[in-house]
Amino acid sequence: MNVHASRLALGSIAAAAALSVAACSTSPDAGGGSSDASDAAAKSGGAPIPVVAAENFWGSIASQLGGDHVKVTSIIDNPAADPHDYEPTAADARAVAGARLTLVNGVGYDSWAGKLLAAQPGQGRTDLNVGKLVGVPANGNPHRWYSPDDVHQVIERITADYKKLDPADSADFDRLKSTFENTTLAPYDKEIAGIKAAYKGTPVGASESIFAPLAQGLGLDLRTPESFLDAISEGTDPTAKDKSTIDRQIADKQIKAYVYNSQNATPDVRAQVKAAKAAGIPVATVTETLTPAGASFQEWQVRQLKGIEAALAEGTGKGTGSKGKGE
């Protein structure tokens, strides 16, 4: 899926990789010898640590936690590219070969990235696999960036890895993490807590498994059959039984809101969106990767959360408070 879009994204990846190499030559530390100059400089706090993230949602977080001390390249950075079935290029391989920290989602989501790491073993590189870190089994739900708890676990580990790779800048990494968690990401945590407080236990429907970790984080009761959520997420055919279950949930208004991935709206999903709207069930959207492409993790997530909150407010008739209804 979306092969053309994936290829289109490659030019910018190659450019970013070239930039990251150029950026490493500004170190004031001249004592390290030429071939290992960037390595020695990174240890002394001079040149940025080259970091490669398989997906831009993790890359955005890694970049904000590292500040000037890191140079992050995200391989999947185009909203039109599908991380589930991306095919890496020579430029991606070069970026990985030069990385000192890699950040991969895992859980079968980006097996192309695992192969890339194996083919480019690197030297003294740290590989962070999110699925392994948070303990999700190989057949589990891979969309860990939609789990607020997992996001916070990844933040802790990224900062710990940065401090190991660049101990001279440890105090700065602690400060960057504190600012990120207490200020930058605070609206995200606040939005989640607010939705949970107001709508805990509310029955909702969704198009695919990407929404399941967030529904859990928000305390919502996701009624859509898991086999349907997985089928849409994995690009396989959902069963007729699941589809009729969902049609009934919509027709009987058993769900108060319907959330779908607008980057993966199959004909079945589009039919459900249409049916939900016709039944007066508010619809909200999420996307697989950062949207628009230049958005930060928190800008993207907060905007989506506000959309979900508005749908819940309308669907439950609790639409009071500072936001008001609609629009």
Site string for Zn ion, 56-95 (x = CB under 5 A): ----------------------------------------
Site string for Zn ion, 230-269 (x = CB under 5 A): ---x------------------------------------
Decide: 206 and 285 in contact? Cβ < 8 Å: no
- Note the maximum CA span of the chain: 73
Q: Any idea of the CA torsion for 64, 69, 75, 79, to the nearest 10 degrees?
A: 30
Q: Is the Cβ of residue 57 or residue 162 nearer to Zn ion in the bound state? A: 57
The DSSP annotation for 54-83 comes to EEHHHHHHHHHHHGGGEEEEEEE--TTS-G
By CB under 5 A, which span of 91-99, 202-210, 296-304, 313-321 interacts with Zn ion? Answer: 202-210
Q: Is the Cβ of residue 42 or residue 210 nearer to Zn ion in the bound state? A: 210
Decide: 66 and 49 in contact? Cβ < 8 Å: yes
Decide: 58 and 130 in contact? Cβ < 8 Å: yes
Q: Is the Cβ of residue 210 or residue 295 nearer to Zn ion in the bound state? A: 210
Closest separation in Å from C-beta 300 to Zn ion: 15
By CB under 5 A, which span of 43-51, 177-185, 225-233, 279-287 interacts with Zn ion? Answer: 225-233
Q: For residue 215, which of 256, 244, 184, 177 has the smallest C-alpha distance?
A: 256
Q: Is the Cβ of residue 27 or residue 233 nearer to Zn ion in the bound state? A: 233
Q: Is the Cβ of residue 204 or residue 210 nearer to Zn ion in the bound state? A: 210
CA distance 239 to 250: 17
Q: How many chain residues are in contact with Zn ion, going by CB under 5 A?
A: 2
By CB under 5 A, which span of 97-105, 210-218, 277-285, 302-310 interacts with Zn ion? Answer: 210-218
Closest separation in Å from C-beta 104 to Zn ion: 15
Residue 293 burial (C-beta neighbours within 10 Å; 0-12, 13-18, 19+) = middle
Provide the token pair at 86.
């991306």
Q: Is the Cβ of residue 44 or residue 287 nearer to Zn ion in the bound state? A: 287
Q: Which residues bind Zn ion (CB under 5 A)?
A: 210, 233
